[in-house]
A and B are shown apart, each in its own frame.
Chain A
Amino acid sequence: MSAMNQLIVAPILLPLITAALMLLLGEKRRPLKARINLVSSLLGLGISVVLLLWVHTQGQAGSIGVYLPGNWPAPFGIVLVVDRLAAMMLVLTGIIGVSALLFAMARWDSAGASFHALFQIQLMGLYGAFLTADLFNLFVFFEVLLAASYGLILHGSGRARVKAGLHYIAINLVASSLFLIGAAMLYGVTGTLNMADLAIKIPLVPEADRGLLHAGAAILAIAFLAKAGIWPLNFWLVPAYSAASAPVAALFAIMTKVGIYTVLRLWTLLFSGQAGASSFFGGEWLVYGGLATLGCAALSILAAQRLERMASLSILVSAGTLLAAIGFGQPALTAAALFYLVSSTLALCALFLLAELIERSRSVNEIPLDDDSDTLPPALELSQPPKGINLDDEQKAVVGQVIPWAMAFLGLSFIACALLVIGMPPLSGFIGKLNLISALLNPQGLGLATEQPLPATGWALLALLVLSGLASLIALARVGITRFWTPQERPSPVLRRLECLPIVALLSLCVLLSIQAEPLLRYTQDTASGLQDPQQYLSAVFATRPTPGPLAQAKPAEVQP
């Protein structure tokens, strides 16, 4: 094993050690803990980038890194695997983590004692879930990240958070039970929990057991899809995410993507084209579920009033788009979906951070935190200019004469975020959606004729993609008008430099993605073609031999029992 292989386990160990250190430091030394947390998160991001470069620059054959934590060969011991998909998600997690942490360091981390420790444990769970190649190990990392998220969602306390947190925990505990049932059924049928070994065993399952196998896989998928936010299992998501404090909600922007990642990983491995009678099992359900999610989220975004709520609903829009696109099982579409995933996750993270800054100046009584879902937004022309405001010659209100820099910054960032979320040119959201539509219409590649016409679900996805963009446009434009243009006695919010930095960084990354989209597009295409053909993954996992220990070298002629 080379030094690079050893690095695969580092994204898990580093946050674990840091979190342990945080707990040892006690409840007092918050600035010190914040600094250690930042250094550790940056280091984690650095390691992820190194892994990504390593995975990407290697040739096709060896582009998958495997680490055996227990030094047992593949089907018997737990395996950590980093391939292109995992490396991309690791880097995304690192970026989101550092941004959320920078934002939290300005103000939010003082709202509770264990913020920094929980934050690191959350990162550990996320990194672990992306790296592991063992079904039960995946369950453990899911529980690690969920346990941390239960603490984080309650960070800052308050009635709305505890109420939403209660529902969030209950739903996730039920989903974990389903996860266990599904994993146990897969074990009962195939006798293994290693993902690569499952991929080999599934074509060999006798016909009598195939129903049981499919039932197990479906129950397992329900657990992941509930976390990914598929309709109708997503009613917990919007209250929980919009009640969570801003940096936590920004970090949670990657949480639904964990569900989507696991669905993509397991579905392409277990039910690939080589899975015999089980090939592409359940794909059409992913498409239907994704379309329903997309449609419902687009409808409810029209009724949302608070920006946090809109951001949460945009998460559902992006989850629905991704699930539907993945469900088609076409490499070109999966590649486009992965590009969209990166762009939308960065944009939504920025939007959650921005939402708190924009809503900060809002008086608490204006829209109470609880009662938002029941009413439709009021029509805009009803709001008359208040008494005593400057009027110009035509008796119109004079507004926006002097724009404080804080409002200018917020306004510009809001426009950028809105463009990204809606998918309008010139930013990367547009490139993502354009790619999705292009891949939908030309599954073989641009200019190549396809033998079969686009199915009805494909047209539905195309229409919903455009319509959800329109719905987001209406909703975000309305909230932008009420927050920035409507004359109101509203003090300019006080912004701290640490709070602006992550937003600027995230949006610059999106701008960079718009200008330099090609490298990432090529990367996601390589990723999708790698997922299409799981043979590489399987051979990489099974080719890895344990490192011989000193005893084994001393006695090479050990008789196997």
Chain B
Amino acid sequence: MEEVIAIAIGVLAASGVWLILRPRTFQVVMGLCLLSYGVNLFIFSMGSLFIGKEPIIKDGIPQDLLNYTDPLPQALVLTAIVISFAMTALFLVVLLASRGLTGTDHVDGREPSE
């Protein structure tokens, strides 16, 4: 399972970085989205990956990390998802404002002179 998660994070981050370096604003937004997905998975995997462990405390099971999943990365991921989602929405607004003011979707606000 580690391999699958690692490859998924790697592919997401690589595509994200490639898109961020593209000259069109929409590609940059997509890149930031993919990068934040990769980062969120990364935070999640930092709590160590397990199958079949209890997420919520149950009676009769000793309360330690041997028997439960680590709840902290889940809380962190939740916060990170909300924040990155909000920031992406805000970036979209700025993207539209830039498109309206400059008439182009190039990140520098003008087409490169050929």
- Given A174-B35, A187-B72, A180 contacting B90 (CB threshold 8 A): no
- Interface 1/0s, chain A 166-183, versus B by CB < 8 A? 110110011011001101
Give chain B's interface secondary structure class: helix
At the interface, yes or no: A154 with Cβ under 8 Å from chain B?
Answer: yes
B94 in complex: contacting residue of A162, A180, A184, CB < 8 Å: A162
Q: Is A388 an interface residue (CB 8 A)?
A: no
Q: In the bound complex, what is the Cα–Cα distance between A184 and B13 (angstroms)? A: 15
- The answer on a CB contact under 8 Å between B80 and A166 is no
A128 to chain B, nearest CB (A): 14
The closest CB in chain B to the CB of A186 belongs to B46
Per-position binary interface string of chain B over residues 78-102, scored 1 when its CB falls under 8 Å from any chain A CB and 0 otherwise: 0110011011101100110110011
Q: Knowing A173-B91, A174-B20, A174-B32 touch, does A162 contact B98 (C-beta < 8 A)? A: yes
Contact for B39 among A162, A169, A180, CB less than 8 A: A180
Contact of A159 with B102 in the complex, beta carbons under 8 Å: yes
Inter-chain contact A167/B107, CB cutoff 8 Å: yes
Contact of A184 among B20, B42, B90 (CB under 8 A): B42
On chain A, the residues within 8 Å of B72 by CB distance are 187, 193
Q: Answer whether residue A150 sits at the interface, using C-beta atoms and an 8 A cutoff.
A: yes
Contact partner of A187 (CB less than 8 A), chosen from B28, B73, B87, B101, is B73
List B contacts of A139 (CB < 8 A): 79
Q: Which of A143, A157, A165, A177 contacts B35 (CB 8 A)?
A: A177
The reply on A512 being an interface residue by CB < 8 A is no
Chain B 28-66 near chain A by CB (<8 Å), digits 1 or 0: 100010011001001100111000000000000001000
Q: Is the CB–CB distance between A180 and B25 below 8 Å? A: no
What is the distance, in angstroms, from B34's C-beta to the closest C-beta of chain A? 10
Inter-chain CA distance A181–B91, complex, in Å, is 21
Report, as a range, how many residues of chain B touch the other chain.
Answer: 20 to 34
CB of A187 within 8 A of CB of B108, answer no
Q: Decide if B109 is an interface residue (CB 8 Å cutoff).
A: yes
Chain A residues whose CB sits within 8 angstroms of the CB of B36 once the complex forms = 173, 177
* Known contacts A159-B109, A163-B108; A147/B90 CB under 8 A: yes
Cβ contact within 8 Å between B87 and A162:
no
Tell me how far the C-beta of B90 lies from the nearest C-beta in chain A, rounded to whole angstroms: 6
Assembled-state Cα–Cα distance A139/B25 (Å): 26
- CB-CB nearest in chain A for B75: A136
Q: Report how far A158 CA is from B32 CA in the complex, Å.
A: 25
CB-CB under 8 A from B25, the residues of chain A are 166
Chain A 107-150 interface 0/1 with B at a Cβ cutoff of 8 Å (1 = within)? 00000000000000000000000000000100110010001001
CB distance from B106 to the nearest CB of A (A): 10
Q: Across the interface, which residues of B come within 8 angstroms of A326, CB to CB?
A: none
Among A154, A177, A181, which residue has the most Cβ atoms of chain B within 10 A? A177
Q: Does B11 contact A (CB under 8 A)?
A: no
Asked if B7 lies at the interface with its beta carbon under 8 angstroms from chain A, I say no
- Tell me, rounded to whole Å, the shortest Cβ–Cβ distance linking A141 to chain B: 11
B-side contacts of A154, CB under 8 Å: 94, 97
Q: Are A165 and B73 touching (Cβ within 8 A)?
A: no
Q: Are A173 and B107 in contact (CB-based, < 8 A)?
A: no
Q: Is the CB of B32 within 8 A of A170?
A: yes
On whether the beta carbons of A169 and B91 are closer than 8 Å, the reply is yes
Given known contacts A136-B79, A150-B90, A180 and B20 CB-to-CB distance under 8 angstroms: no
B5 CB–A CB distance under 8 Å: no
Q: Is B73 a contact of A176 with CB atoms below 8 Å?
A: no
Residue total for A at the interface (Cβ-Cβ under 8 A): 30
How long is the Cα–Cα vector from A136 to B83 in the complex, in angstroms? 12
The answer to the question of B76 belonging to the interface, with a C-beta cut-off of 8 Å to chain A, is yes
- Residues of A within 8 Å of B83, CB to CB, are 140, 143, 176
Contact: A163 with B90, CB < 8 Å? no
Q: Identify the closest chain B residue to A192 (Cβ).
A: B72
Q: How far is the CA of A449 from the CA of B36 in the complex (A)?
A: 53
Q: Does A185 contact B (CB under 8 A)?
A: yes
B73 touches A180 (CB 8 A): no
List of A residues within 8 angstroms of B28 by Cβ: 170
| In contact, A169 and B94 (Cβ under 8 angstroms) | yes
- In the complex, chain B residues whose CB is within 8 Å of the CB of A136: 76, 79
Interface pair A163/B109, CB less than 8 Å apart: yes
**Nearest-Cβ distance from residue B22 to partner chain A, whole angstroms:** 11
Q: A181-B39, A184-B73 are in contact. Are A170 and B87 (CB under 8 A)?
A: no
Give the distance in Å from the alpha carbon of A185 to the alpha carbon of B46 in the complex: 7
A211 CB to closest chain B CB (Å) equals 16
Does any Cβ of B come within 8 Å of A561's Cβ?
A: yes
Contact B80 A180 (CB under 8 A): yes
> Given A162-B97, A163-B109, A173-B32 in contact, is the A184-B46 Cβ separation under 8 Å?
yes
User: Which residues on B sit within 8 Å (CB–CB) of A163?
Assistant: 98, 101-102, 108-109
Which residues of the partner chain A approach B43 to less than 8 Å between Cβ atoms?
180, 184
Q: How far is the CA of A176 from the CA of B97 in the complex (A)?
A: 23
* Measured CA separation A147–B82 after assembly (Å): 13
Task: Report the separation of the CA atoms of residues A193 and B70 in the bound assembly, to the nearest whole angstrom.
Answer: 14
Taking the closest CB of chain B, its distance from the CB of A298, in whole angstroms, is 26
Please, which residue of chain B has its CB at the minimum distance from the CB of A143?
Answer: B83
- In Å, the complex CA distance between A180 and B76 comes to 9
Tell me the bound Cα distance from A157 to B102 in angstroms: 12
Q: 24 A-B pairs, CB-CB below 8 angstroms?
A: A159-B102, A159-B109, A162-B94, A162-B97, A163-B101, A163-B108, A165-B94, A166-B25, A166-B98, A169-B87, A169-B91, A173-B87, A173-B91, A174-B20, A176-B84, A180-B39, A180-B43, A180-B80, A184-B76, A185-B46, A187-B46, A187-B72, A187-B73, A188-B46
New A-B contacts (18) at CB < 8 Å, excluding given A157-B97, A165-B94: A143-B83, A158-B101, A159-B101, A162-B98, A163-B102, A163-B109, A166-B107, A169-B90, A170-B91, A170-B107, A173-B87, A173-B88, A180-B43, A184-B39, A184-B43, A184-B73, A185-B46, A187-B46
- Which are the 9 A-B pairs with shortest beta-carbon distances? A188-B46, A163-B109, A184-B43, A184-B46, A177-B39, A162-B98, A159-B101, A180-B39, A143-B83
